Structures are given as structure tokens and as C-alpha cells.
Amino acid sequence: MAIDLHSHWFPIKLADAFRKRTVKPMIHTKADGIEYMESMFSAPLRTEAVEKRLAEMDRTGVERGVISLTTIFGVEGLPADEAIPLCQINNDGLSDICAQHPKRFSALATLPVGDTDAAIAEFERAMKLPGMVGALLPGDGFLSLKRAEKFKPLLDVIDRYSALVLVHYGKTANDADPIKIDSSDNGHPRMGTLDMQARLSQNMITFCMTDFMKSYPNLTILSHNLGGNIPFEVERMDHRTMIDLPPGTELPSKRFAVAPVLVDCNSLGARAIEMAAEVYGADKIVFGSDGTAFGMDWTQKAINDARISEADRDAIRFGNAKRAIDRVKRPMSVAAE
């Protein structure tokens, strides 16, 4: 059985709120009569009955899903007066699923990160709700140490809860220097793979090759998709370090091996998992699926086919995630219920 730490969910009440909006993120019906979700991408609306998700989890051997909205929708980056009510609707909706199925779901809160005080208040409110174990944060906020510094007050609070933080590819609020990608051709691979993986790699540099994480010894940071391209590029990083930097400079591979950061193996294959296990250690890899039946099947097969030990497979599927969830400190009034 597996614990799925990267499992997106779209609460019905949040969809209703998006239908009332006239600017992105929003839902509207096009001339073809189909509802579309308009955000970073435009795609036909897909919502799911919880019974269907549970059936797919049962079929694919997933015991628990840690559900979250996706940062692709950009809710967290909206102005506070728009973001706060949408975050609350989302977090309440996720918690409702957890309350209905406490043995099958936990959840990560979406926060209005454009307003630090509001983000802290919503995180503390959300942590009192059934099933909450942490938060979802946008990856563009961690593309550099300078950017990450803006999240320190929020992370200080999250650290006190020893909570889980999924840093997911997505735009951050109030970005004075947003990255722009020309996706006028081959937009799907350029954005959905190459750009995403490159930005996740930058996140991992911030988490693993600076001292940023030393201030947060209790929280658990999770990057998705094996932390971008690090397992494939670390040898080049080491080589460039040896030839370009002063003798004795610590090799990037050593920093990645000891960094207290988890990565999930969503959408990557067996050979990638093998490389990641060598670079990070199998104790740093967790199961991820995006919350789709395709993703659950794909990830189970990739773990099965990876040339790693059975103990490492068990750790990736279950043990590493369980330790992270077990560390979370729920508010005493909630824990006592």
C-alpha cells in the first residue's frame, strides 16, 4: 500500500466560486457547450466524485491521499481580497473530504501568500480543521534565496507545527520579475515538462545548496517530480564545481545527499527513480500521482520496475511519507477531539 503525497483535488464549492468569476482563475462555458477551467492553462473542467477517487485508490494500492489544490490555478497569488475567501472555500472543502474519510485522506491548505499576515492566519485556521497536515506553496517563490526570504515569517509558523509543505510549480504573488516562456509552438512539452522541471531544479538549489532550511528543522519540505532535473545534472554540477570553483568547495552531490528535503516520483520512470535514489537516498523519495488513476498506475509500475531493494520500495511507497505525516503537531484542541 502507498501514501500519495502529491494528490490534487478540486472541491465542488470552489468550482462554484470560480463560475462566478469573470477573470482568471475562472470557469466558463465555451461555444462547444463544455465548461473550461481558465488559469495558467485552459482545459475542460474535470471534477471527480470522492467514491471514484476511492475506487481508483483501492484498485492501485493507495491507502491514503494527501490532497491539495494545484498552484496551476493561481489562487494563492491573487490579491488578498480575492484570495482569502477562495482559500477558505478550498481548505474547508478539502477538510470536509478528510472528515468524511479520515482513514483515507489528509490535506494541504492553500494560502493567500500575497499577504503574509493573512497567509499565517489562514494556515493557523486551517490547521484546526479535520485532516490538515500542512500547506501548498508556489514554486516561483523559491527560485532563489532572495525570493525565499519573503516566506520566512510564514515558514516560521509552519515550522512550529512540524507541518508538511508541498512546494509545487506555480507563480507566486507580487512577482516583480516573472519568468516568461515562449510557448507559441510545442507549448505542452515546453511548459508542462521542460519549464516545470527547470524551475523545480532551481527550487532544489535553494533548499539544498543554501543554508535556508537550517532555520526550519521541524517542517518537511516536499518538491514534486523528483525535484526537477537534479538527478540527471548533478554530475555536471560536480564537474563544474571542481574545475571552476576554489579547491575544497563542497560538491553539490554532497549537499543534495544530506539535505532534509523530500521529493516525490510523480510522472517519472524507473530509471529516474534509480538515479534519484543514488543522488538523494531512497529515504528522501515518496509516492506521488497528481491524484489521477493514470498517475497512480504509472507510479506503482515505475517503483516496481526500479532496480532498488524491496526495503527501498516500501520506504518510497509508504514509510517515508508516514514519518513526515506523523511529525505534524496538530493544535491541542483538535488533537484531543
- On the question of pLDDT at 337 being above 60, the answer is no
Lowest mean per-residue pLDDT among 85-99, 220-234, 321-335 = 321-335
Specify the pLDDT at position 334. Answer: 56
Q: Mean per-residue pLDDT for 233-259?
A: 97
Percentage of residues in the chain with pLDDT exceeding 70? 98
pLDDT tens, residue by residue, 265-314: 999 999 999 999 999 999 999 999 999 989 999 999 999 999 999 999 99
- On the question of pLDDT at 333 being above 60, the answer is no
Specify the pLDDT at position 311. Answer: 98
| Burial zone of 245 (CB within 10 Å; 0-12 exposed, 13-18 middle, 19+ buried) | exposed
pLDDT band, residue 332 (cuts 50/70/90): low
pLDDT band, residue 224 (cuts 50/70/90): very high
pLDDT band, residue 130 (cuts 50/70/90): very high
Q: Mean per-residue pLDDT for 199-212?
A: 98
Domain 2-14+48-331, classified CATH 3.20.20.140, yes or no: yes
pTM as predicted? 0.96
Specify the pLDDT at position 41. Answer: 86
Domain ranges within the chain, ordered by starting residue: 2-14+48-331
Scan for cell 512540524, then name that residue.
Answer: 162
Q: How far, in Å, are 24, 91, 138, 192 from residue 181 at the CA level?
A: 19, 31, 17, 11
Answer with the residue of higher pLDDT: 235 or 180: 235
Residues in contact with 268: Cβ distance below 8 Å, sequence separation at least 6, in sequence order? 225, 226, 276, 302
Specify the pLDDT at position 336. Answer: 42
| Contacts of the segment 272-277: beta carbons below 8 A, 24+ positions apart | 272/226, 272/231, 272/232, 272/302, 273/226, 273/302, 273/303, 273/306, 273/308, 273/316, 274/306, 274/307, 274/308, 275/231, 275/232, 276/226, 276/227, 276/231, 277/306, 277/308, 277/312
- On the question of pLDDT at 9 being above 50, the answer is yes
